Structure 1
Amino acid sequence: MTVVKPTHFVVVPLAMWGHLRPLLHLSLNLLAVHPNLHLTLLAAPSVLPKVESELKSTSFAHIYTPSPTTSGTSTPSLGASASASAGASTDAHHTSSKEQQQENKAIADRLQVITCISPEFDLPEQWDPATMAKEGVDYAKTIPAFLKDLLGKEHKIQGINNKFEDIAPDFLIFDVFNFFIPDVMRAVSCESGNRVIPLIGFVPSNATASYHTFAEEEKGGSFAKMLRLVKEDVAKGRDTTEAYGEHSFAAYGQVKKLPGLADKFDWPNMATIPFPPGTFMAVIPSVQLTDDENMTGLICPTTAEIEMEAVEALEKDLGKRVYMVGPQFPESSWIGEHPIPKASNAEDEKVYRFLDDMDEKYGPNSVIYVSFGSIFFPVLRPEIIRYILQSLKQAGFPFLFAHASGMAQIPDELIKELEEYDDCCIVNFAPQWDVVNHDATGFFLTHCGSNSTAEAILAELPLVTMPFAADQGEFAALLTEVYKVGIDLKQVKTFSKPEYNKLYDGTVVLGTEDAIKEELHETWNKLRGPEGEVLRTNMKKLKSTVKQSWVNGRSKKDMLALGRCFE
């Protein structure tokens, strides 16, 4: 029997669940594909409860299953911090050989989650934007010490039991919006006298949006242009925060030609969300990583085969390897297994009961699921939500609305108005994977975040798209215009500069109540007719392409290559 040398990688995520979740799933899938790999995840405390919940979910029961020759296993160590030592798991079985012990380990035995925060940071009872911002600053200041210990000669972390201290880290994956990581790693490596291990950036997006974000300005790169304009203004004496507020996701009426997509005017942000300039100050400098010699590659958790032109353009512009690893889900999700849902709270029970009732009353594919994720919401135009929900009621369409965003503003009178409508369910949070896979769910009105689009594809669920910002416009265009698996709402689009309200296909966005309601009425009729079935058929075909890539296509090849990137 050939024994493979144990290897170790470190993950530095962003404390945003939409970013961390696919990175966590990627990490677990890498452990499954590469039995010699071990993982250390350095997490901020605000996301630790969600990480723990995800690891304990039925979808990941397999990570605790030992190999056939093993009689027992252990659970991953969670919640260790700089100020207190956590009880890291110990191997449940011992052999006379480290190599044989390595062969017998379950995935959970090769995983540890360490909370990175300073002893001075007071953990709040409830997290809000202000405490999250403070946590981000503390996390950035604390990370260097953890990385220094992990990369040191003894790999001992002060006050914490590092269960992999006999395995030096071989490579590191970091969220690209933690753009300070390469500088930290260079400083740490210089101090320890070691070379900088391979650094792989992670962006929870597709290749098209990544190209739009990170390409050179003359090729349509948005971050490069924003950063140049900010620097020019600051050089003239303008306040930095004010400059970021002016130029972040601004529209100038210029045509953007993105690989594989129809031309668009600027891809402007929907001016419905009051993003503070500090948000952009924290992410836009990440464009400078494209020239960083120590960032050796970029990971996109999407499928190359559905946007190959963009993948080739991105690799050419970056001059780096792009790992198109595909959507990240447990193996059971790919083969169609879906455990019987178990409610963890009263809202879950409400959702499951409603979907079961609608399935019995109207049959399969009868419900529209409406959700814009945990962040995005039309805060500055809440009437859009009223128009959507009222139009669904008027059309007699059963719907489930989850308004999980911390910025959500749902008028009490609207909720009361809808209480009399038996065929609707309104909750703060819905167990989305269970919802999209329920027989009663027929369509998904979504902002087109990367997690939501991936779940919709695997569930073969057609879309109605309402993108807000970031990469959502590119996802929506790819899905509705290229693969025709959804309908994009146009009259709800809101521009920071009204003079740019004409879309490149000639559509004029009026944005009035009448225009929005008319479009919604037409959309619901299309979903109920032959066009809705065409969308469903097209989504099945798209899912087949994505799955084939995961089984033996580019996604599988890049998963294999990523686990050996340090060789």
Structure 2
Amino acid sequence: MSVSTKKAPHFLFSSFPAWGHVRSFCNLAARIVKDDDKAYVTLALTPTLINRAKDEVEVEFKGKEPESVIRRVRIVSLIQSDSQNPLELFESHAKAFPAAYADLLQGKSITCKMTNTEFDAAPPINIVVLDTIAQPLFQITRAVSGKSIPIVGWITGHVSSSVRYNGLERLGGLGDLGAKIDAEAARRGVSAKEIGDSLWNTGSGEVVKVPGLTDMYDWEYFPQKLPFEVTLSDFLRLSYAGIKDSDAAFVTSAYAFEPESMEALKSWFEEWNKDVYIIGPLLPSGYGIERNFLENSLAEHGPNSVMLISFGTFYWPVVQEYIEEVIEVLIEQKFPFILCYASPFAQLSDNLIERAEASGFGLVSKWAPQQFILNHPATGWFVSHCGHNSVMESLGSGMPIIAWPFHADQPMGAAHIEADLNVGIELVEVRTGEKGMKPLKRHGRQAKGSREAVGTEFRQVIEDCRGEKGKVWRKNAQSMKAKLAKVWLDGGDSKEDFKAFLTKYGF
């Protein structure tokens, strides 16, 4: 297609209100408008995500872009609400979406309901990118614009988890789990809700084989008792339908991280006659400025001496004494650490926080600039829940990972980190719950269920970090960093895949 016949893209992105599903698109949005002076990107998000999305985009701009570029990323909330409940927020967001989308299709101006910021009229939307679990938005989009506007599914998380949770059965996937649940409910004469996760969360000891991922027992997908009730099948039903309803898909993982799983995903999408574009990792290229603790640790303890502990914005250990034991061991071993407890379920006593900080080895914070910390020369280790964004940020920084997974795609990420990539280790003794207490397929170990065992294991992990195993983990993580650094350079895999997408759709 000649330059003169190319369309100027105007992307509309929307998502379920989960920061992990939005963050990487913020980086992509900034890159789109930097690379194309006619492109627009509108992000329709819930109120809880507006400010964080703005901050993330600004980080990518690095204060170097003119207003003519910055104004072409428009971040809006379609609703006004002070609710923190993601299900309530998404329901309200979905109700407001049809009218807003219809206006954007006509190139009309749009106003953020939370900030009252009005964005001027812009070229009409001509490409829609939707988080696959935001499946109701797929239906709304089709009802308003039919097939005239392509919908690209936004697939976050480890690709091995997408293959397992939504993929073809021949690839180790669950297939159309929603249809199976409905059929079983009809057979029993009960509701689908009553079936819940029972069809696949059986803990029977079945060995699950997903390409590119070490073999795992089915119970390994549930390593923790959670402090909240969730039926994962409800989300898997949505994401399966979202993928089915999309015209193509963006994947935010990277070939370098999980090549065999990527090939399995492509095989699945080829069978469904859908294009898939691997465009990850989408890592921010700028970092925060808070540095006193890290600078002091670097001066006193040297490079790679600090351990960051963070379980993201949602997850937290249900057994409080396990995280307390880890802190006590770090203080005992004189190992500097930063503990971030952003989760609403986090509980830390004032006494423990005071003890950690009084020791001179700990900094405890409700929030911490994760990317900045991971890229600081003082930081050497990351205790993580292994959500996909955190794993990409860690390996993108060359940082070995000490895995403490909870749910969703995290168990697969943790297993891959330890068994397939050898860029870290997964903790075993911190596992909880009926299924979490069972043995792991790859080495047969299982949790003893005691604080003492957690302490013993973590002391060994610290010894390994300081020894030969730690050197190997860091060497492998640094090798992965080098590979990931290339994917968005000219000729890199992810940049070429995104260019192929733009060409396919005439942009």
TM-score normalized with structure 1 length: 0.80
Name which of 72, 87, 100 aligns with 1:110: 72
Residue by residue over 1:76-96, the C-alpha shift from the partner in whole angstroms, topping out at 9 and shown as x without a partner, is xxxxxxxxxxxxxxxxxxxxx
Query: How far apart in 2 are the matches of 1:411 and 1:469?
Result: 25
Letter of the 1:357 partner, please give it.
N
Query: How far apart in 1 are the matches of 2:305 and 2:154?
Result: 37
Query: How far apart in 1 are the matches of 2:57 and 2:214?
Result: 40
The answer on whether the counterparts of 1:374 and 1:405 sit within 8 Å (CA) in structure 2 is: yes
Number of matched residues?
494
Residues 1:185 and 2:137 aligned together = no
Residue 493 of structure 1 aligns to a residue whose secondary structure is coil
Shift of 1:255: 0.8
Residue 520 of structure 1 aligns to a residue whose secondary structure is helix
Residue by residue over 1:353-395, the C-alpha shift from the partner in whole angstroms, topping out at 9 and shown as x without a partner, is 222221121111111111111011112x222211211121222
Residues 1:200 and 2:152 aligned together = yes
Residues 1:39 and 2:41 aligned together = yes
The answer on whether the counterparts of 1:253 and 1:500 sit within 8 Å (CA) in structure 2 is: no
The answer on whether the counterparts of 1:217 and 1:224 sit within 8 Å (CA) in structure 2 is: no
Query: How far apart in 1 are the matches of 2:63 and 2:175?
Result: 40
The answer on whether the counterparts of 1:230 and 1:244 sit within 8 Å (CA) in structure 2 is: no
**1:307 aligned partner:** 258
TM-aligned CA distance change 1:321 to 1:446, over 3 Å: same
Name which of 280, 286, 299 aligns with 2:239: 286
Residues 1:515 and 2:453 aligned together = yes
Residue 40 of structure 1 aligns to a residue whose secondary structure is strand
Letter of the 2:97 partner, please give it.
I
**2:24 aligned partner:** 22
TM-aligned CA distance change 1:418 to 1:38, over 3 Å: closer
Superposed, 1:112-127 pairs within 5 Å as 112-117=74-79, 123-124=81-82, 127=83
Shift of 1:252: 3.0
The answer on whether the counterparts of 1:272 and 1:377 sit within 8 Å (CA) in structure 2 is: no
Query: How far apart in 2 are the matches of 1:372 and 1:532?
Result: 21
Query: How far apart in 2 are the matches of 1:164 and 1:157?
Result: 4
Residues 1:372 and 2:311 aligned together = yes
Percent identical: 27
Residues 1:216 and 2:168 aligned together = yes
TM-aligned CA distance change 1:449 to 1:563, over 3 Å: same
Residue by residue over 1:506-553, the C-alpha shift from the partner in whole angstroms, topping out at 9 and shown as x without a partner, is 223323333322211111000011221221111111111112232223
Query: How far apart in 2 are the matches of 1:374 and 1:148?
Result: 33
Name which of 454, 472, 484 aligns with 2:392: 454
Query: How far apart in 1 are the matches of 2:261 and 2:310?
Result: 28
Residue by residue over 1:114-160, the C-alpha shift from the partner in whole angstroms, topping out at 9 and shown as x without a partner, is 3212xxx5x32xx433xx43221101111112112222xx4335778
Name which of 52, 55, 59 aligns with 2:54: 52
**2:299 aligned partner:** 360
> Once structures 1 and 2 are overlaid, which stretch shifts more, 226-235 or 172-181?
226-235
TM-aligned CA distance change 1:186 to 1:498, over 3 Å: closer
TM-aligned CA distance change 1:158 to 1:498, over 3 Å: closer
Shift of 1:217: 4.0
Residues 1:409 and 2:347 aligned together = yes
Name which of 319, 324, 327 aligns with 2:281: 327
The structure with the largest alpha-carbon Rg is 1
Name which of 345, 367, 372 aligns with 1:434: 372
TM-aligned CA distance change 1:231 to 1:196, over 3 Å: farther
TM-aligned CA distance change 1:392 to 1:457, over 3 Å: same
**1:141 aligned partner:** 95
Letter of the 1:354 partner, please give it.
F
The answer on whether the counterparts of 2:156 and 2:251 sit within 8 Å (CA) in structure 1 is: yes
**2:115 aligned partner:** none
Query: How far apart in 2 are the matches of 1:45 and 1:247?
Result: 36
The answer on whether the counterparts of 1:373 and 1:447 sit within 8 Å (CA) in structure 2 is: yes
Letter of the 1:216 partner, please give it.
L
Letter of the 2:289 partner, please give it.
K
Residues 1:395 and 2:357 aligned together = no
Shift of 1:503: 3.1
Residues 1:175 and 2:131 aligned together = yes
Query: How far apart in 2 are the matches of 1:250 and 1:261?
Result: 20
**1:554 aligned partner:** 493
TM-aligned CA distance change 1:547 to 1:54, over 3 Å: closer
TM-aligned CA distance change 1:498 to 1:456, over 3 Å: closer
Query: How far apart in 1 are the matches of 2:349 and 2:198?
Result: 30
Residues 1:64 and 2:2 aligned together = no
TM-aligned CA distance change 1:502 to 1:486, over 3 Å: closer
RMSD in angstroms over aligned alpha carbons?
A: 2.6
Residue 19 of structure 1 aligns to a residue whose secondary structure is helix
**1:296 aligned partner:** 247
Query: How far apart in 2 are the matches of 1:328 and 1:473?
Result: 22
The answer on whether the counterparts of 2:152 and 2:249 sit within 8 Å (CA) in structure 1 is: yes
Shift of 1:245: 6.0
The answer on whether the counterparts of 2:171 and 2:264 sit within 8 Å (CA) in structure 1 is: no
Shift of 1:178: 0.4
Residue 285 of structure 1 aligns to a residue whose secondary structure is helix
Shift of 1:240: 4.3
The answer on whether the counterparts of 1:156 and 1:162 sit within 8 Å (CA) in structure 2 is: no
**1:91 aligned partner:** none
